[in-house]
Amino acid sequence: MDEDEPFFSNLDIFLFSLIAGLLIYWFIFRKKTEPIPEFKKLESTAPTTRETSFIDKMKKMGKNIVVFYGSQTGTAEEFANRLAKDAHRYGMKGMAADPEEYDMSELSRLPEIENSIAIFCMATYGEGDPTDNAQDFYDWLHEGDADFTGVKYTVFALGNKTYEHYNAMGKYVDKRMAELGATRIFDLGMGDDDGNLEEDFVSWREQFWPAVCEHFGVEATGEESRPFDSKNPFLAPVTVNRKLNKAGDRHLMHLELDITGSKIRYESGDHVAVYPINDSNIVNRIGDLLKVDLDTVISLNNLDEESNKKHPFPCPTTYRTALTHYLDVTSSPRTNVLYELAQYATDPKDQENMRKMASSSPEGKALYQSWVLDSCRNILAILEDLPSLRPPIDHLCELLPRLQARYYSIASSSKVHPNSIHICAVVVEYKTKTGRVNKGVATNWLKNKMPTDNGHKATVPMYIRKSQFRLPFKSTNPVIMVGPGTGIAPFMGFVQERKWLKEQGKDVGDTVLYYGCRHKNEDFLYREELEEYEKTGVLTALNVAFSRDQAEKVYVQHLLKKNKEVVWRLVHTDNAHIYICGDARNMARDVQNAFYEIAEELGGMSRTQAVDYIKKLMTKGRYSQDVWS
């Protein structure tokens, strides 16, 4: 190389500059372009429907039946859960779903799942409106133009026939789904709360599933054993039987029945039905008076061949079994029974009086009222007071009504006690005008059901009767519970459930209890538990009326009126649900009048307007009663 020649030629410098320039360009612009693919990537992995896709959830969990519910008081939700559970009996899998939580436009994708069905349990709220949780679904159905071709569906509607817009929401969903191209695979079911909503649902459900089986060509798997009901009660062992009151002449008791392994499900507010047996002393006395061997085996047959009922009770049996387990021997006999038995009275005067009491004459009605009803005479008392009346026992067994199950409001929550049902009851015992002591059949029988009886477990034949007495669908709604005496029973379940909801991290509204008893130190039932609930804030307020601890009697309605401003704010402003449980004859009426007066005074209403206001609360499921006379 010549010493005078430059180290880099012009070409070298050019190439070097070009390479350096390209490197700088790549370095700078590579940095700037990097976010673009990343941004696109982020955008594509965050679909808005991921959390709200019931279709994806069904696919993931292998479900093919989805049951949507529009529920205000919880009944429609409960029906939806029951239908979802039914599915497994037919080799299908179901899930209940709140339409508020899902993207309902995905209904059009349902045919992607084989043998799929959408079931809608839709309650009508207020004046023909959708429930709060179904409002968005209703608006979308109303305004939208989705294509539901291939979607199979059915609807069960919940309403009340006494109101103008009976089952409006259920009818609308049924009609609109068909208009948008869906296929109705079973007729619209109509549940009437003014009649018997549970019976309406059960009869619809019993026809619905066979129709589904026929449609898809499947059969019941028979996995589920026969459920326990009135004809097939469960023998529940008694695990607890304790006296609740500290003093006084009454016996108030708390019992716990073990339902482990029975598959029995219940909700707070349901009733437990128990089948009692009659007092053996009464049965033996009837046998003595009629001079019969009670252990004779008998079979009473219906002579009417057209009748479906071949026997008045399970036969063959014995007179003792019939009088102990099947026949009501403690109620006052009806006039038709007296009329039929009159022919057997050998004293003409007795015969005349019995026929008179069975007649429609004012004199006969008055005699029946005073001699039978007001004097609380049962069949044994009548036989004792009419020595000439000795009817054949076969005819007596034919005439006496069947011994009925007794119902008690369940005093526990299944969320807290899934394997146990609690009962709170007062033992019925009173002196009649004739000087006899009458005892309540079921409560005296239950009183003696101790957990272990000579080494044997005491059992109670029972089943569950569903109720519409339900906590609000939304836990944030306040509740006002009014339950003096044993009317406290369902509210023990309600309070347990509200405590459980709090423990699950749910927002729970005000929980206010109005309770009443005679004396603070005698019959304040569940005092320790209730005071602890108040102390820990589970009960927002515990208001107790002790009716006989002062000169003037104080009842729950007096405390409601005393706290009228708080009561009115909870009801009128905060959408509180009101619950009344206990005596229908006086307490429930007096409490309702107290609410009328509060509405008049603080709502500026006339009595007519106040009555309409409370009636509307009843329509909306916000004023519920579980009462007895």
- Has 193 been labeled as part of a binding site? yes
350 belongs to the catalytic site: no
Q: ∠21-22-26 over CA atoms, to 5°?
A: 120
- Has 126 been labeled as part of a binding site? yes
Chain centroid to CA 498? 16
CA-based nearest residue to 578, from 542, 538, 621: 621
210 DSSP assignment = H
Q: Are strands 456-457 and 452-453 parallel, antiparallel or unpaired?
A: antiparallel
- The CA distance from 506 to 615, in Å, is 30
DSSP per-residue letters across 233-294:
-EEEEEEEEEE--SSSSS-EEEEEEE-TTS-----TT-EEEE-----HHHHHHHHHHTT--T
- Has 395 been labeled as part of a binding site? no
- Has 296 been labeled as part of a binding site? no
- Has 75 been labeled as part of a binding site? yes
397 belongs to the catalytic site: no
Q: What are phi and psi of 603, to 5 degrees?
A: -100, 0
- Has 315 been labeled as part of a binding site? no
9 belongs to the catalytic site: no
CA-based nearest residue to 198, from 222, 229, 231: 229
626 belongs to the catalytic site: yes
Judged on CB neighbours under 10 Å (0-12, 13-18, 19+), 158 is buried
- Has 72 been labeled as part of a binding site? yes
- Has 487 been labeled as part of a binding site? no
- Has 548 been labeled as part of a binding site? yes
Chain centroid to CA 579? 13
- Has 304 been labeled as part of a binding site? no
Q: What are phi and psi of 140, to 5 degrees?
A: -65, -45
- Has 167 been labeled as part of a binding site? yes
- Has 408 been labeled as part of a binding site? yes
- Has 547 been labeled as part of a binding site? yes
- Considering 409, 412, 414, 467, which one is annotated as catalytic? 409
- Has 166 been labeled as part of a binding site? yes
- Has 334 been labeled as part of a binding site? no
- Has 619 been labeled as part of a binding site? no
- Has 160 been labeled as part of a binding site? yes
Q: Where are the beta strands (DSSP E) in 388-478?
A: 406-409, 420-426, 429-431, 437-439, 452-453, 456-457, 459-465
CB count within 10 Å of CB 283 equals: 22
Chain centroid to CA 357? 41
- Considering 209, 500, 568, 628, which one is annotated as catalytic? 628
Is residue 376 a contact partner of residue 438, using CB atoms and an 8 Å limit? yes
- Has 374 been labeled as part of a binding site? no
Q: Are strands 511-517 and 623-628 parallel, antiparallel or unpaired?
A: unpaired
SS3 labels along 485-516:
HHHHHHHHHHHHHHHHHHHCCCCCCCEEEEEE
- Has 165 been labeled as part of a binding site? yes
- Considering 174, 581, 583, 624, which one is annotated as catalytic? 581
- Has 523 been labeled as part of a binding site? no
CA distance from start to end of the chain? 125
- Has 155 been labeled as part of a binding site? no
- Has 442 been labeled as part of a binding site? yes
- The CA distance from 211 to 90, in Å, is 12
Residue owning tokens 């009976």: 166
- Has 557 been labeled as part of a binding site? yes
- Has 364 been labeled as part of a binding site? no
- Has 514 been labeled as part of a binding site? no
- Has 426 been labeled as part of a binding site? yes
Is residue 577 a contact partner of residue 478, using CB atoms and an 8 Å limit? yes
- Has 555 been labeled as part of a binding site? yes
- Has 443 been labeled as part of a binding site? yes
Question: Does residue 316 have a cis bond before it (omega within 30 degrees)?
Answer: yes
DSSP 3-state assignment of 85? helix
Q: Could you tell me which residues are annotated as the binding site for NADP(+)?
A: 250, 486, 547-548, 553-557, 590
Q: Could you tell me which residues are annotated as the binding site?
A: 71-76, 123-126, 158-167, 193, 250, 406-409, 424-426, 430, 440-443, 486, 547-548, 553-557, 590, 628
Q: Could you tell me which residues are annotated as the binding site for FMN?
A: 71-76, 123-126, 158-167, 193
Q: Could you tell me which residues are annotated as the binding site for FAD?
A: 406-409, 424-426, 430, 440-443, 628
Q: Write out the catalytic residue numbers.
A: 409, 581, 626, 628
